[in-house]
Structure 1
Protein backbone atom coordinates (compact mmCIF):
# COMPACT_ATOMS: atom_id res chain seq x y z
CA UNK A 1 0.00 0.00 0.00
CA UNK A 2 1.03 3.59 -0.50
CA UNK A 3 1.59 5.78 2.54
CA UNK A 4 -1.72 7.50 1.82
CA UNK A 5 -3.52 4.14 1.67
CA UNK A 6 -1.87 3.02 4.90
CA UNK A 7 -3.02 6.21 6.62
CA UNK A 8 -6.58 5.70 5.43
CA UNK A 9 -6.55 2.05 6.51
CA UNK A 10 -5.19 3.00 9.92
CA UNK A 11 -7.92 5.56 10.48
CA UNK A 12 -10.59 3.04 9.49
CA UNK A 13 -9.41 0.64 12.19
CA UNK A 14 -10.59 3.05 14.90
CA UNK A 15 -14.15 1.99 15.62
CA UNK A 16 -16.12 2.82 18.72
CA UNK A 17 -16.85 -0.43 20.50
CA UNK A 18 -14.41 -2.40 18.32
CA UNK A 19 -11.04 -0.87 19.17
CA UNK A 20 -7.82 -1.35 17.29
CA UNK A 21 -5.18 -2.90 19.54
CA UNK A 22 -1.74 -1.28 19.55
CA UNK A 23 0.83 -3.47 21.26
CA UNK A 24 3.57 -0.87 21.37
CA UNK A 25 6.96 -1.58 19.83
CA UNK A 26 10.32 0.21 19.86
CA UNK A 27 12.47 -0.96 16.96
CA UNK A 28 12.40 -2.88 13.68
CA UNK A 29 12.84 -6.24 15.38
CA UNK A 30 9.92 -5.82 17.75
CA UNK A 31 7.87 -4.36 14.89
CA UNK A 32 8.39 -7.51 12.81
CA UNK A 33 7.58 -9.76 15.77
CA UNK A 34 4.34 -7.97 16.62
CA UNK A 35 3.33 -7.72 12.96
CA UNK A 36 3.97 -11.45 12.50
CA UNK A 37 1.82 -12.07 15.58
CA UNK A 38 -1.13 -10.59 13.72
CA UNK A 39 -1.10 -6.84 14.40
CA UNK A 40 -3.06 -4.83 11.85
CA UNK A 41 -1.23 -1.66 12.87
CA UNK A 42 1.82 -0.72 14.91
CA UNK A 43 2.65 2.10 17.28
CA UNK A 44 5.85 3.08 19.02
CA UNK A 45 5.95 4.15 22.65
CA UNK A 46 8.23 7.11 23.37
CA UNK A 47 9.32 5.72 26.74
CA UNK A 48 10.30 2.39 25.17
CA UNK A 49 12.07 3.83 22.13
CA UNK A 50 14.10 6.13 24.37
CA UNK A 51 14.92 3.47 26.96
CA UNK A 52 16.02 1.01 24.26
CA UNK A 53 18.66 3.55 23.23
CA UNK A 54 19.72 4.51 26.73
CA UNK A 55 17.73 7.71 27.14
CA UNK A 56 15.03 8.89 29.51
CA UNK A 57 11.58 9.73 28.18
CA UNK A 58 10.59 13.35 27.61
CA UNK A 59 12.25 14.20 24.28
CA UNK A 60 15.69 13.33 25.63
CA UNK A 61 16.18 10.95 22.71
CA UNK A 62 17.56 13.10 19.86
CA UNK A 63 14.97 13.55 17.13
CA UNK A 64 17.46 12.26 14.55
CA UNK A 65 17.69 8.99 16.48
CA UNK A 66 13.91 8.74 16.64
CA UNK A 67 13.60 9.37 12.90
CA UNK A 68 16.24 6.71 12.19
CA UNK A 69 14.21 4.25 14.27
CA UNK A 70 11.03 5.14 12.38
CA UNK A 71 12.75 4.64 9.02
CA UNK A 72 14.09 1.24 10.07
CA UNK A 73 10.62 0.14 11.20
CA UNK A 74 8.81 1.28 8.07
CA UNK A 75 11.48 -0.40 5.93
CA UNK A 76 10.99 -3.68 7.80
CA UNK A 77 7.19 -3.96 7.89
CA UNK A 78 4.28 -3.10 5.62
CA UNK A 79 1.61 -2.44 8.25
CA UNK A 80 0.73 1.16 9.18
CA UNK A 81 2.95 2.76 11.80
CA UNK A 82 1.98 5.50 14.25
CA UNK A 83 4.80 7.23 16.13
CA UNK A 84 4.68 8.51 19.68
CA UNK A 85 6.04 11.99 18.98
CA UNK A 86 5.54 13.37 22.51
CA UNK A 87 5.26 17.18 22.21
CA UNK A 88 6.65 17.29 18.70
CA UNK A 89 10.13 18.50 19.73
CA UNK A 90 8.96 22.11 19.31
CA UNK A 91 6.58 24.63 20.81
CA UNK A 92 5.98 27.03 17.94
CA UNK A 93 3.40 25.70 15.43
CA UNK A 94 5.44 26.27 12.27
CA UNK A 95 8.50 24.46 13.61
CA UNK A 96 6.27 21.75 15.01
CA UNK A 97 4.68 21.17 11.61
CA UNK A 98 8.11 20.90 10.00
CA UNK A 99 9.11 18.27 12.54
CA UNK A 100 5.98 16.28 11.84
CA UNK A 101 6.87 16.50 8.16
CA UNK A 102 10.11 14.66 8.97
CA UNK A 103 8.10 11.90 10.67
CA UNK A 104 5.92 11.63 7.58
CA UNK A 105 9.02 11.51 5.36
CA UNK A 106 10.26 8.62 7.51
CA UNK A 107 7.14 6.66 6.57
CA UNK A 108 4.79 7.11 9.53
CA UNK A 109 1.06 7.60 8.99
CA UNK A 110 0.18 9.07 12.38
CA UNK A 111 1.46 10.34 15.71
CA UNK A 112 0.58 10.59 19.35
CA UNK A 113 0.81 14.27 20.22
CA UNK A 114 0.59 15.27 23.87
CA UNK A 115 -0.55 18.47 25.55
CA UNK A 116 1.84 18.40 28.49
CA UNK A 117 4.60 21.00 28.49
CA UNK A 118 7.63 18.79 27.87
CA UNK A 119 10.46 19.89 30.13
CA UNK A 120 8.11 22.19 32.02
CA UNK A 121 5.02 21.71 34.14
CA UNK A 122 1.32 21.30 33.57
CA UNK A 123 -0.40 21.24 30.20
CA UNK A 124 -0.76 23.81 27.46
CA UNK A 125 -3.82 26.03 27.48
CA UNK A 126 -6.54 24.51 25.33
CA UNK A 127 -6.37 27.28 22.73
CA UNK A 128 -2.60 26.97 22.43
CA UNK A 129 -2.65 23.21 22.01
CA UNK A 130 -5.52 23.39 19.55
CA UNK A 131 -3.47 25.76 17.41
CA UNK A 132 -0.58 23.32 17.52
CA UNK A 133 -2.87 20.51 16.37
CA UNK A 134 -4.24 22.78 13.64
CA UNK A 135 -0.73 23.40 12.29
CA UNK A 136 -0.04 19.67 12.04
CA UNK A 137 -3.33 19.04 10.29
CA UNK A 138 -2.75 21.79 7.75
CA UNK A 139 0.73 20.48 6.96
CA UNK A 140 -0.44 16.88 6.50
CA UNK A 141 -3.46 17.91 4.43
CA UNK A 142 -1.17 19.85 2.11
CA UNK A 143 0.62 16.54 1.46
CA UNK A 144 -2.74 14.87 0.75
CA UNK A 145 -2.23 12.31 3.51
CA UNK A 146 -5.07 11.47 5.96
CA UNK A 147 -2.54 11.64 8.77
CA UNK A 148 -3.84 10.31 12.11
CA UNK A 149 -3.28 12.84 14.89
CA UNK A 150 -3.92 11.09 18.19
CA UNK A 151 -4.23 14.13 20.45
CA UNK A 152 -3.23 13.15 23.96
CA UNK A 153 -4.18 14.88 27.17
CA UNK A 154 -1.93 14.41 30.18
CA UNK A 155 -4.52 15.60 32.69
CA UNK A 156 -5.04 12.15 34.15
CA UNK A 157 -1.40 11.01 34.13
CA UNK A 158 -0.38 14.16 35.97
CA UNK A 159 -2.96 13.50 38.69
CA UNK A 160 -1.83 10.36 40.48
CA UNK A 161 -4.86 10.31 42.79
CA UNK A 162 -7.50 8.58 40.71
CA UNK A 163 -10.24 9.67 43.11
CA UNK A 164 -9.74 13.16 41.66
CA UNK A 165 -10.14 12.13 38.03
CA UNK A 166 -13.88 12.76 38.00
CA UNK A 167 -13.13 16.42 38.65
CA UNK A 168 -10.96 16.52 35.53
CA UNK A 169 -13.46 14.92 33.18
CA UNK A 170 -15.22 18.07 32.01
CA UNK A 171 -11.90 19.66 31.12
CA UNK A 172 -10.86 16.50 29.28
CA UNK A 173 -14.09 16.54 27.27
CA UNK A 174 -13.53 20.20 26.46
CA UNK A 175 -10.06 19.36 25.21
CA UNK A 176 -11.34 16.41 23.17
CA UNK A 177 -13.80 18.70 21.40
CA UNK A 178 -11.27 21.49 20.88
CA UNK A 179 -8.59 19.17 19.52
CA UNK A 180 -11.09 17.43 17.25
CA UNK A 181 -12.22 20.82 15.97
CA UNK A 182 -8.60 21.66 15.19
CA UNK A 183 -8.17 18.48 13.15
CA UNK A 184 -7.29 15.71 15.60
CA UNK A 185 -8.30 12.21 14.51
CA UNK A 186 -8.42 10.64 17.96
CA UNK A 187 -8.24 11.55 21.64
CA UNK A 188 -5.79 9.77 23.95
CA UNK A 189 -6.43 9.81 27.70
CA UNK A 190 -3.68 7.73 29.36
CA UNK A 191 -4.07 7.28 33.09
CA UNK A 192 -7.87 7.20 32.98
CA UNK A 193 -9.09 3.92 34.49
CA UNK A 194 -12.58 4.37 35.92
CA UNK A 195 -15.18 2.58 33.80
CA UNK A 196 -17.91 5.20 34.05
CA UNK A 197 -15.52 8.06 33.37
CA UNK A 198 -14.22 6.23 30.29
CA UNK A 199 -17.79 5.60 29.11
CA UNK A 200 -18.73 9.25 29.57
CA UNK A 201 -15.64 10.43 27.73
CA UNK A 202 -16.29 8.06 24.83
CA UNK A 203 -19.88 9.26 24.55
CA UNK A 204 -18.85 12.93 24.57
CA UNK A 205 -15.77 12.81 22.37
CA UNK A 206 -16.28 13.65 18.68
CA UNK A 207 -13.36 11.35 17.79
CA UNK A 208 -12.35 7.81 18.86
CA UNK A 209 -10.94 7.55 22.36
CA UNK A 210 -7.65 5.77 23.10
CA UNK A 211 -7.12 4.22 26.55
CA UNK A 212 -3.77 2.83 27.68
CA UNK A 213 -3.49 -0.46 29.50
CA UNK A 214 -1.98 -0.10 32.97
CA UNK A 215 -2.80 -1.47 36.44
CA UNK A 216 -6.45 -0.89 37.28
CA UNK A 217 -7.59 -0.29 33.71
CA UNK A 218 -10.38 -2.59 32.46
CA UNK A 219 -9.41 -5.33 30.02
CA UNK A 220 -9.72 -4.59 26.27
CA UNK A 221 -13.01 -6.45 25.94
CA UNK A 222 -14.52 -4.30 28.68
CA UNK A 223 -13.06 -1.15 27.13
CA UNK A 224 -14.77 -2.07 23.87
CA UNK A 225 -18.09 -2.27 25.69
CA UNK A 226 -17.44 1.21 27.11
CA UNK A 227 -17.04 2.60 23.60
CA UNK A 228 -13.26 2.86 23.33
CA UNK A 229 -11.87 3.06 19.78
CA UNK A 230 -8.22 2.26 20.45
CA UNK A 231 -6.36 0.34 23.15
CA UNK A 232 -2.60 0.73 23.53
CA UNK A 233 -0.03 -0.79 25.85
CA UNK A 234 2.53 2.00 26.22
CA UNK A 235 5.78 0.95 27.92
CA UNK A 236 4.28 -2.29 29.25
CA UNK A 237 5.69 -4.61 26.54
CA UNK A 238 9.19 -3.13 26.87
CA UNK A 239 9.19 -3.47 30.64
CA UNK A 240 7.96 -7.06 30.44
CA UNK A 241 10.60 -8.01 27.89
CA UNK A 242 13.41 -6.38 29.86
CA UNK A 243 12.28 -8.09 33.05
CA UNK A 244 12.38 -11.47 31.26
CA UNK A 245 15.79 -10.69 29.78
CA UNK A 246 17.21 -9.84 33.20
CA UNK A 247 15.68 -12.99 34.71
CA UNK A 248 17.15 -15.21 32.01
CA UNK A 249 20.55 -13.53 32.18
CA UNK A 250 20.64 -13.87 35.96
CA UNK A 251 19.85 -17.57 35.65
CA UNK A 252 22.73 -18.04 33.19
CA UNK A 253 25.22 -16.21 35.37
CA UNK A 254 24.03 -18.05 38.46
CA UNK A 255 24.40 -21.43 36.77
CA UNK A 256 27.89 -20.49 35.56
CA UNK A 257 28.94 -19.84 39.11
Structure 2
Protein backbone atom coordinates (compact mmCIF):
# COMPACT_ATOMS: atom_id res chain seq x y z
CA UNK A 1 0.00 0.00 0.00
CA UNK A 2 1.37 3.43 -0.90
CA UNK A 3 1.46 6.48 1.34
CA UNK A 4 -1.38 7.91 -0.76
CA UNK A 5 -3.73 5.52 1.01
CA UNK A 6 -3.53 7.62 4.16
CA UNK A 7 -3.59 11.01 2.47
CA UNK A 8 -6.69 13.09 3.01
CA UNK A 9 -7.59 13.21 -0.67
CA UNK A 10 -7.62 9.44 -0.97
CA UNK A 11 -9.60 9.07 2.23
CA UNK A 12 -12.16 11.66 1.12
CA UNK A 13 -12.54 9.93 -2.25
CA UNK A 14 -13.15 6.56 -0.60
CA UNK A 15 -15.69 8.13 1.76
CA UNK A 16 -17.61 9.70 -1.11
CA UNK A 17 -17.51 6.47 -3.11
CA UNK A 18 -18.81 4.56 -0.10
CA UNK A 19 -21.66 7.03 0.39
CA UNK A 20 -22.61 6.69 -3.27
CA UNK A 21 -22.81 2.90 -2.95
CA UNK A 22 -25.59 3.37 -0.40
CA UNK A 23 -27.75 5.51 -2.68
CA UNK A 24 -27.36 3.31 -5.75
CA UNK A 25 -30.41 1.23 -6.80
CA UNK A 26 -28.33 -1.96 -6.53
CA UNK A 27 -28.21 -3.14 -2.94
CA UNK A 28 -24.82 -2.97 -1.24
CA UNK A 29 -23.72 -6.19 0.42
CA UNK A 30 -20.84 -6.05 2.88
CA UNK A 31 -19.42 -9.36 4.03
CA UNK A 32 -18.09 -8.59 7.49
CA UNK A 33 -14.42 -9.14 8.30
CA UNK A 34 -12.38 -9.18 11.51
CA UNK A 35 -8.67 -9.18 10.66
CA UNK A 36 -6.31 -8.56 7.78
CA UNK A 37 -6.47 -12.02 6.24
CA UNK A 38 -10.28 -12.15 6.32
CA UNK A 39 -10.34 -8.63 4.85
CA UNK A 40 -7.93 -9.35 2.00
CA UNK A 41 -9.66 -12.64 1.25
CA UNK A 42 -13.06 -10.97 0.92
CA UNK A 43 -11.61 -7.98 -0.92
CA UNK A 44 -10.29 -10.31 -3.62
CA UNK A 45 -13.70 -11.88 -4.24
CA UNK A 46 -15.29 -10.52 -7.43
CA UNK A 47 -18.22 -8.27 -6.58
CA UNK A 48 -16.76 -6.88 -3.36
CA UNK A 49 -17.21 -3.11 -3.36
CA UNK A 50 -16.51 -2.26 0.27
CA UNK A 51 -15.62 -3.91 3.56
CA UNK A 52 -17.18 -3.66 7.01
CA UNK A 53 -15.80 -4.91 10.28
CA UNK A 54 -17.80 -6.78 12.90
CA UNK A 55 -17.07 -5.70 16.48
CA UNK A 56 -18.24 -9.04 17.87
CA UNK A 57 -15.82 -10.90 15.58
CA UNK A 58 -12.86 -8.64 16.28
CA UNK A 59 -13.45 -8.93 20.02
CA UNK A 60 -13.77 -12.72 19.81
CA UNK A 61 -10.59 -13.03 17.78
CA UNK A 62 -8.70 -11.14 20.50
CA UNK A 63 -10.26 -12.94 23.46
CA UNK A 64 -12.92 -10.45 24.57
CA UNK A 65 -16.67 -10.67 24.98
CA UNK A 66 -18.72 -8.41 22.72
CA UNK A 67 -20.13 -5.20 24.18
CA UNK A 68 -17.21 -2.74 24.38
CA UNK A 69 -15.15 -5.11 26.53
CA UNK A 70 -12.24 -4.81 24.12
CA UNK A 71 -10.13 -1.74 24.96
CA UNK A 72 -10.65 1.04 22.45
CA UNK A 73 -6.93 1.14 21.64
CA UNK A 74 -7.07 -2.49 20.53
CA UNK A 75 -10.19 -1.92 18.45
CA UNK A 76 -8.69 1.11 16.70
CA UNK A 77 -5.49 -0.83 16.02
CA UNK A 78 -7.46 -3.75 14.58
CA UNK A 79 -9.61 -1.67 12.24
CA UNK A 80 -6.58 0.37 11.23
CA UNK A 81 -4.73 -2.76 10.11
CA UNK A 82 -7.76 -3.77 8.03
CA UNK A 83 -8.07 -0.33 6.42
CA UNK A 84 -4.36 -0.29 5.60
CA UNK A 85 -4.60 -3.67 3.85
CA UNK A 86 -7.03 -2.60 1.10
CA UNK A 87 -7.88 0.26 -1.23
CA UNK A 88 -11.61 -0.42 -0.77
CA UNK A 89 -13.74 1.74 1.51
CA UNK A 90 -13.88 0.29 5.03
CA UNK A 91 -16.65 0.84 7.56
CA UNK A 92 -16.12 -0.04 11.22
CA UNK A 93 -18.55 -1.33 13.80
CA UNK A 94 -17.79 1.01 16.70
CA UNK A 95 -20.53 -0.30 19.02
CA UNK A 96 -21.97 2.69 20.93
CA UNK A 97 -18.86 4.83 20.58
CA UNK A 98 -16.88 3.68 23.65
CA UNK A 99 -18.16 6.51 25.80
CA UNK A 100 -17.19 9.29 23.36
CA UNK A 101 -18.56 8.78 19.84
CA UNK A 102 -17.00 11.94 18.46
CA UNK A 103 -13.49 11.10 19.59
CA UNK A 104 -13.85 7.43 18.67
CA UNK A 105 -15.04 8.23 15.14
CA UNK A 106 -12.28 10.81 14.73
CA UNK A 107 -9.69 8.24 15.74
CA UNK A 108 -11.21 5.70 13.37
CA UNK A 109 -11.01 8.19 10.50
CA UNK A 110 -7.39 8.76 11.47
CA UNK A 111 -6.58 5.13 10.69
CA UNK A 112 -8.43 5.10 7.36
CA UNK A 113 -12.05 4.30 8.23
CA UNK A 114 -14.75 6.08 6.16
CA UNK A 115 -17.95 4.85 7.79
CA UNK A 116 -19.22 3.43 11.06
CA UNK A 117 -22.05 1.75 12.88
CA UNK A 118 -23.01 3.48 16.12
CA UNK A 119 -25.59 1.74 18.37
CA UNK A 120 -28.30 3.62 20.24
CA UNK A 121 -28.69 0.74 22.74
CA UNK A 122 -32.22 2.11 23.26
CA UNK A 123 -31.02 5.06 25.27
CA UNK A 124 -33.57 7.87 25.70
CA UNK A 125 -34.13 9.28 22.23
CA UNK A 126 -32.56 12.68 22.95
CA UNK A 127 -29.40 10.98 24.23
CA UNK A 128 -29.31 8.65 21.22
CA UNK A 129 -29.66 11.57 18.82
CA UNK A 130 -26.81 13.35 20.63
CA UNK A 131 -24.65 10.24 20.11
CA UNK A 132 -25.29 10.29 16.38
CA UNK A 133 -24.72 14.03 16.15
CA UNK A 134 -21.34 13.57 17.84
CA UNK A 135 -20.35 10.91 15.31
CA UNK A 136 -21.43 13.14 12.43
CA UNK A 137 -19.50 16.06 13.92
CA UNK A 138 -16.30 14.02 13.79
CA UNK A 139 -16.76 13.30 10.08
CA UNK A 140 -17.52 16.93 9.34
CA UNK A 141 -14.51 18.02 11.34
CA UNK A 142 -12.25 15.76 9.31
CA UNK A 143 -13.76 17.10 6.06
CA UNK A 144 -15.00 13.81 4.61
CA UNK A 145 -18.38 12.47 3.54
CA UNK A 146 -18.46 10.07 6.49
CA UNK A 147 -21.06 7.31 6.23
CA UNK A 148 -22.94 6.95 9.51
CA UNK A 149 -24.93 3.72 9.66
CA UNK A 150 -26.97 4.79 12.70
CA UNK A 151 -28.14 1.67 14.50
CA UNK A 152 -31.28 1.33 16.55
CA UNK A 153 -31.56 -1.69 18.80
CA UNK A 154 -35.37 -1.58 18.88
CA UNK A 155 -35.70 -5.15 17.60
CA UNK A 156 -32.68 -6.78 19.22
CA UNK A 157 -33.74 -5.45 22.63
CA UNK A 158 -37.47 -5.95 22.09
CA UNK A 159 -37.95 -8.83 24.50
CA UNK A 160 -41.66 -9.68 24.72
CA UNK A 161 -42.91 -6.23 23.75
CA UNK A 162 -45.73 -5.77 21.25
CA UNK A 163 -44.13 -6.07 17.76
CA UNK A 164 -46.14 -3.09 16.53
CA UNK A 165 -44.69 -0.91 19.30
CA UNK A 166 -41.19 -2.14 18.53
CA UNK A 167 -41.60 -1.27 14.87
CA UNK A 168 -42.98 2.14 15.82
CA UNK A 169 -39.92 2.78 18.00
CA UNK A 170 -37.59 1.81 15.15
CA UNK A 171 -39.40 4.21 12.82
CA UNK A 172 -39.29 7.09 15.30
CA UNK A 173 -35.63 6.62 16.13
CA UNK A 174 -34.56 6.08 12.55
CA UNK A 175 -36.31 9.22 11.35
CA UNK A 176 -34.65 11.20 14.14
CA UNK A 177 -31.22 9.89 13.12
CA UNK A 178 -31.79 10.70 9.46
CA UNK A 179 -32.91 14.19 10.45
CA UNK A 180 -29.47 14.98 11.89
CA UNK A 181 -27.65 13.71 8.81
CA UNK A 182 -27.12 9.96 9.24
CA UNK A 183 -26.55 8.25 5.91
CA UNK A 184 -28.60 5.19 6.79
CA UNK A 185 -30.51 3.62 9.64
CA UNK A 186 -29.36 0.15 10.63
CA UNK A 187 -32.14 -1.97 12.12
CA UNK A 188 -30.68 -5.36 13.07
CA UNK A 189 -33.01 -8.25 13.82
CA UNK A 190 -34.95 -10.94 11.97
CA UNK A 191 -37.23 -8.62 10.01
CA UNK A 192 -40.22 -9.85 8.05
CA UNK A 193 -41.44 -8.26 4.83
CA UNK A 194 -43.99 -6.09 6.63
CA UNK A 195 -41.32 -4.62 8.91
CA UNK A 196 -38.91 -3.98 6.05
CA UNK A 197 -41.60 -2.36 3.90
CA UNK A 198 -42.76 -0.17 6.80
CA UNK A 199 -39.22 0.98 7.54
CA UNK A 200 -38.43 1.74 3.89
CA UNK A 201 -41.66 3.70 3.56
CA UNK A 202 -40.81 5.70 6.68
CA UNK A 203 -37.17 6.40 5.83
CA UNK A 204 -37.33 6.51 2.04
CA UNK A 205 -35.67 4.16 -0.46
CA UNK A 206 -31.97 3.34 0.02
CA UNK A 207 -31.94 4.56 3.62
CA UNK A 208 -32.50 1.27 5.49
CA UNK A 209 -29.63 -1.05 6.38
CA UNK A 210 -30.29 -4.59 7.62
CA UNK A 211 -28.41 -7.63 8.82
CA UNK A 212 -29.10 -10.94 7.17
CA UNK A 213 -29.17 -13.96 9.46
CA UNK A 214 -30.52 -17.46 8.91
CA UNK A 215 -34.18 -17.02 7.93
CA UNK A 216 -33.84 -13.44 6.63
CA UNK A 217 -35.36 -12.23 3.37
CA UNK A 218 -33.23 -12.88 0.30
CA UNK A 219 -30.99 -10.06 -0.96
CA UNK A 220 -32.91 -9.86 -4.23
CA UNK A 221 -36.19 -9.28 -2.38
CA UNK A 222 -34.59 -6.73 -0.06
CA UNK A 223 -33.35 -4.84 -3.12
CA UNK A 224 -36.87 -4.87 -4.58
CA UNK A 225 -38.19 -3.43 -1.31
CA UNK A 226 -35.70 -0.52 -1.43
CA UNK A 227 -33.14 -1.57 1.19
CA UNK A 228 -29.75 0.13 0.82
CA UNK A 229 -27.36 -2.26 2.51
CA UNK A 230 -27.04 -5.78 3.89
CA UNK A 231 -24.38 -6.86 6.35
CA UNK A 232 -23.80 -10.19 8.07
CA UNK A 233 -22.31 -9.27 11.44
CA UNK A 234 -20.63 -12.13 13.32
CA UNK A 235 -22.17 -14.76 11.03
CA UNK A 236 -19.30 -14.67 8.54
CA UNK A 237 -16.82 -15.52 11.28
CA UNK A 238 -19.19 -18.28 12.41
CA UNK A 239 -19.14 -19.70 8.88
CA UNK A 240 -15.34 -19.82 9.00
CA UNK A 241 -15.27 -21.31 12.49
CA UNK A 242 -17.88 -23.92 11.57
CA UNK A 243 -15.70 -25.02 8.65
CA UNK A 244 -12.69 -25.17 10.99
CA UNK A 245 -14.53 -27.19 13.64
CA UNK A 246 -15.94 -29.59 11.04
CA UNK A 247 -12.52 -30.05 9.45
CA UNK A 248 -10.91 -30.74 12.82
CA UNK A 249 -13.54 -33.38 13.58
CA UNK A 250 -13.00 -34.95 10.16
CA UNK A 251 -9.23 -35.04 10.67
CA UNK A 252 -9.55 -36.58 14.15
CA UNK A 253 -11.78 -39.25 12.62
CA UNK A 254 -9.06 -40.23 10.17
CA UNK A 255 -10.27 -38.11 7.27
CA UNK A 256 -8.49 -35.63 5.05
CA UNK A 257 -8.47 -31.92 4.49
CA UNK A 258 -11.46 -30.74 2.43
CA UNK A 259 -11.01 -31.00 -1.32
CA UNK A 260 -10.65 -27.68 -3.04
CA UNK A 261 -9.02 -25.94 -0.07
CA UNK A 262 -7.09 -22.95 -1.43
CA UNK A 263 -3.97 -21.29 0.06
CA UNK A 264 -5.69 -17.94 0.57
CA UNK A 265 -3.23 -16.96 3.28
Query: TM-score scaled by structure 2?
Result: 0.88
**1:65-214 to 2 correspondence within 5 Å?**
65-90=74-99, 95-116=100-121, 123-160=122-159, 164-206=162-204, 208-214=207-213
Task: Show the counterpart of 2:259.
Answer: none
Give how far 1:165 is off. Answer: 2.6
Which residue of the other structure, out of 14, 18, 22, is the alignment partner of 2:26?
18
Determine the C-alpha separation between the residues in 1 that align with 2:144 and 2:53.
20
Say if 2:210 and 2:231, in contact at 8 Å, map to a contact too: yes
The alignment's C-alpha RMSD in Å is 1.7
Instruction: Determine if contact 1:192/1:211 at 8 Å carries over to the other structure.
Output: no
- In structure 1, how many angstroms separate the alpha carbons of the residues matched to 2:253 and 2:117? 42
Q: Distance in 1 between matches of 2:25 and 2:227?
A: 6
CA contact (8 A) 1:165 1:192 kept: no
Contact 1:45–1:234 under 8 Å retained in 2? yes
**Structure 1-normalised TM-score?**
0.90
Give the 3-state SS of the residue equivalent to 1:178 in structure 2: helix
Q: Whole-Å Cα distance in 2 between the matches of residues 209 and 174 of structure 1?
A: 13
Give the whole-Å Cα distance in 1 for the aligned partners of 2:137 and 2:190: 30
Following superposition, the deviation at residue 187 of structure 1 comes to 0.2
Tell me by how many angstroms 1:143 deviates.
Answer: 1.4
Answer whether contact 2:106 2:142 (CA < 8 A) is retained.
no
**Which runs of structure 1 show a deviation greater than 6 angstroms over 4 or more consecutive aligned residues?**
none
**In 1, Cα distance between equivalents of 2:49 and 2:224:** 21
Structure 2 unaligned residues grouped into runs of 5+: 256-265
Aligned pair partner of 2:56 in 47, 51, 59: 47
Given that 1:140 and 1:146 are in contact with CA atoms closer than 8 Å, whether structure 2 keeps it comes out as yes
Query: Alpha-carbon deviation of 1:34?
Result: 0.6
* 2:258 matched residue in structure 1: none
Residue 254 of structure 2 aligns to a residue whose secondary structure is helix
3-state SS of the aligned residue for 2:123? coil
1:156·1:191 contact (CA, 8 Å) conserved in 2? yes
Query: How far did 1:249 drift?
Result: 1.5
The count of aligned residue pairs is: 245
The farther-off stretch of 7-16 and 18-27 is 7-16
Q: Would the alpha carbon gap of residues 158 and 144 (structure 1) be closer, same or farther in structure 2, given more than 3 Å must change?
A: same
- Counterpart-to-counterpart distance in 2, 1:208 and 1:20: 11
CA contact (8 A) 2:158 2:166 kept: no
* Partner of residue 120, structure 1: none
1:62-86 per-residue CA deviation (whole Å, 9 max, x = no partner) reads: 1111111111111111100000000
